[in-house]
Chains A and B, each alone.
Chain A
């Protein structure tokens, strides 16, 4: 019993239970729900949210926030499209150029946050305007009209197989696992290792807990803070590549509606928005919960796909308010116990 209660205090366990209950409820409502292929493809649809949320976790643990990442998805997408289709570059050169460009964008914002002490929210707000604006400007250099999107990326063979660039977004591995989901799993492992098993990860946590103490203990807080923004930009860039490859369309406004879902995933995953606490598995689980909710509600309960903000918002509210109440209860119990001990 004690063990059970201990487990329930672990946020990741609660998330796991939430995910399991989602599966049970949706399956009971509509047995068609339990189709692995469509579940995996629903994750592929929201892969941008899942991947970026992983990296925003890093930023949020340092006490910052990054709302510019969705605009970098669009920037990556259109850069690849224009370099490949209009400038005639090799597709992989275009991909690498797009990643480098995104990293530079992240470095610029990170620089302002870390070295000029501007609030992260403002810098990344400005960044989201700037980079989405850049994406629009780049798209106006293309021969293809901006609203249409650049398509016909290489390559779908005669037999209907996806190879080369399209393999990233449409291909499957081991015969069933979509490539984006595979990449996502690899990224989860990399991020988990980076955040929870390396010195770099510990330094990120310390910056979030107490920046001054971190600075005094010889950590280059500025470099590390900046690096988290670069990482997020690269993550967004990867998401942009996968999305472009998946839908076969390079558009400047790809992913522009993701901001709220990303923050929702990170916060629901147990990351403190004031910094110092968070976990990669928590974020990954919360992203999955959101994906499944967005896939299951229209299928099983006939909720319109246009109206998925409401359940996601309600869930976010329930989680944060519930945690606030629970935190209070635990806190008052803690005080009572301690005071009781003292009086004895």
Chain B
């Protein structure tokens, strides 16, 4: 039984990976030029912002909640980072402010959801509106651009093997969070709470603390994604990041994280993020206009979740049938025994 579940769990993100490989191969068949190391690695490099967002929100989704305020949080720190960059401030300052903002928004969400018990979608919708308003107040309604220093150049710098510094950091973060989530007791609390929060409470895991931590992590990651966004695009308008929360959620789902909680890991989220951000890039190589971007993302998302739901339904049904068969076989085999004993 344990084996079946373990293999199912690993299949969850492997299916995302297979999807990504299939997408790369299909693009390669349509246009062989795509199949170069440089092109493929650039798909990964381009996914920095999405990956950070997706990793952050995956903690929240694993606990069975949702956070739609990350797009606004990202917009807020992006415009703050942009304003610091206009005066050629240091990136350390941006990151520090970003972390503070992320913790603040995350804590507000966490208190609302875990303490007051407000449904998470609704509460984070509210904070989303408020933080979006703060973006407007901070940037005074103007687009933040024309940085003074070399802030925009960081994004392009290559560390090794064509991988940019940014993506190298992201890979490290993915591996670290994956390790923490799967190999440490505290990390497994997220999954435990998402799987069965009453059960988790009974075995001594604080659901409040776990959810609080999940929201803070989600906020921090979104805030750092905002700094990366500002550096990458060089200009931040007041709607920067709007709609990114939906893409991040989609990335998590593509990476095999169940929205009802208790399943998934951050590697899946990272793979999903690469899929989400490389669809438009691949379309260029196939020769279709980028107009197909949303349609294909939608079809991918629906296909993967429907297939997932159906296979899961099927496997549950199979397991049930097996159990029933075992029971009947067992009772049929054991029935004669007492009779013999009676004789």
Contact = CB atoms under 8 A, between A and B. Distances in A.
Interface of A: 65, 67, 112, 116-119, 121-123, 125-134, 136-137, 140, 257, 260, 263-264, 267, 273-274, 304, 306-307, 309-314, 316-317, 320-321, 324-325
Q: Which 7 A-B pairs have the closest CB atoms?
A: A313-B129, A310-B133, A130-B298, A133-B295, A133-B294, A129-B298, A126-B301
A313 B250 contact: no
A122 B289 contact: no
Interface in B287-341: 289, 291-299, 301-302, 305-306, 308-310, 313
Given A117-B309, A140-B289, A304-B136, A130 B299 contact: yes
A273 B125 CA distance: 13
Given A117-B313, A125-B249, A130-B295, A311 B306 contact: no
Interface in B237-275: 238, 242, 246, 249-250, 253, 259-260
B130 interface: yes
Given A119-B259, A321-B118, A112 B302 contact: yes
B260 to A, nearest CB: 6
Given A122-B253, A264-B125, A320 B118 contact: yes
A312 B129 contact: yes
B126 interface: yes
A313 B291 contact: no
A277 to B, nearest CB: 12
A324 B133 contact: no
B295 A116 contact: no
Given A310-B130, A310-B136, A324 B293 contact: no
A116 B123 contact: no
Given A122-B253, A129-B246, A309-B132, 11 more contacts: A118-B305, A126-B305, A127-B302, A129-B298, A257-B242, A263-B122, A273-B119, A307-B136, A307-B137, A310-B129, A320-B126
B301 A133 contact: no
Contact of B295 (A112, A134, A317, A321): A134
A65 B133 contact: no
Contacts of B133: 307, 309-311, 313
B297 to A, nearest CB: 5
B116 A273 contact: no
B58 interface: no
Contacts of B118: 320-321, 324
A126 B298 contact: yes
Interface in B121-147: 121-123, 125-134, 136-137, 141
Contact of A128 (B116, B123, B125, B246): B246
A128 B250 CA distance: 11
A65 B121 contact: yes
Contacts of B162: none
B116 A140 contact: no
B296 A324 contact: no
B112 interface: yes
Nearest to B243: A256
A129 B130 CA distance: 25
22 contacts: A112-B305, A116-B306, A119-B305, A122-B305, A129-B246, A130-B301, A130-B302, A134-B295, A136-B295, A137-B291, A140-B291, A263-B121, A264-B126, A264-B129, A267-B119, A273-B122, A304-B136, A307-B136, A310-B130, A316-B125, A321-B116, A325-B116
Given A122-B301, A137-B295, A313 B116 contact: no
Contact of A260 (B123, B128, B297): B128
B117 interface: yes
A117 B258 CA distance: 13
- Residue among A112, A267, A317 with the most chain B CB within 10 A? A317
A304 B253 CA distance: 37
A318 to B, nearest CB: 8
Nearest to B293: A133
Contacts of B174: none
A138 B53 CA distance: 31
Nearest to B299: A130
Contacts of B291: 133, 136-137, 140
Contact of B125 (A136, A313, A324): A313
Given A127-B298, A130-B298, A313-B127, A304 B132 contact: no
Contacts of A136: 291, 294-295
Contacts of A133: 291-298
Contacts of B289: 140
B141 A273 contact: no
Nearest to A109: B302
A118 B294 contact: no
B103 interface: no
Contacts of B17: none
Given A128-B298, A273-B121, A313 B130 contact: yes
B67 to A, nearest CB: 13
B294 A132 contact: yes
B141 A129 contact: no
B132 A313 contact: yes
Interface string B38-57: 00000000000000000000
B306 A118 contact: yes
B66 interface: yes
A316 B130 CA distance: 10
A133 B279 CA distance: 13
Interface string B54-68: 000000000000101
